[in-house]
Structure 1
């Protein structure tokens, strides 16, 4: 039985290029016997989030930019909930989601998840 997570993890251990990881994840999903047509894009996005980054970023500016573009950021005790206005925003959020969560929690920005989510 083919396991996508194991394949991506093994490949990632050998290669660190984000483009290659997305390609492997999308290809593995496409070749999977139960793959639906939209799964490749979702898996590529998940693979992009899993890629560590060492690039410094201004988190306050990123949050401001996302909110200007219509994205909704919510945080709970240990969760970051993102409602993007378009899928392209995931590329800018993905590598920095842990830092974003910590920034929102410590600075009290974003909508607090305890207040309820809007539909």
Structure 2
């Protein structure tokens, strides 16, 4: 299971535990309140670890992309016909500014990274 799916699953579990905790408070069920507080703490710890792992992977991916010798901003026409561009340029990696990798790299426009000029 990839990190994003696992993170989403843990966020869903955390949300479920919080709803059950609220229901336990309404019933004044002390044992269940204690159990769900422990479950929430465990889920929050796991989520924190997964976010750290995700940030680490994005950082590694970003450093690999930045090591590529050639980069340039893609024109609107190139963005429209991305399939043809990727076929003509071997090893091309396109980074959009709204993705996690794009935000991490601090790019402002859709940029292509490649081992050779294109």
Q: Same fold (TM over 0.5)?
A: no
TM-score of the superposition, structure 2-length normalised? 0.23
Q: Which structure: greater helix fraction?
A: 2
- Indicate the structure whose relative CO is greater, using CA pairs within 8 Å and at least 6 residues apart: 2
TM-score of the superposition, structure 1-length normalised? 0.22
Larger radius of gyration: 2
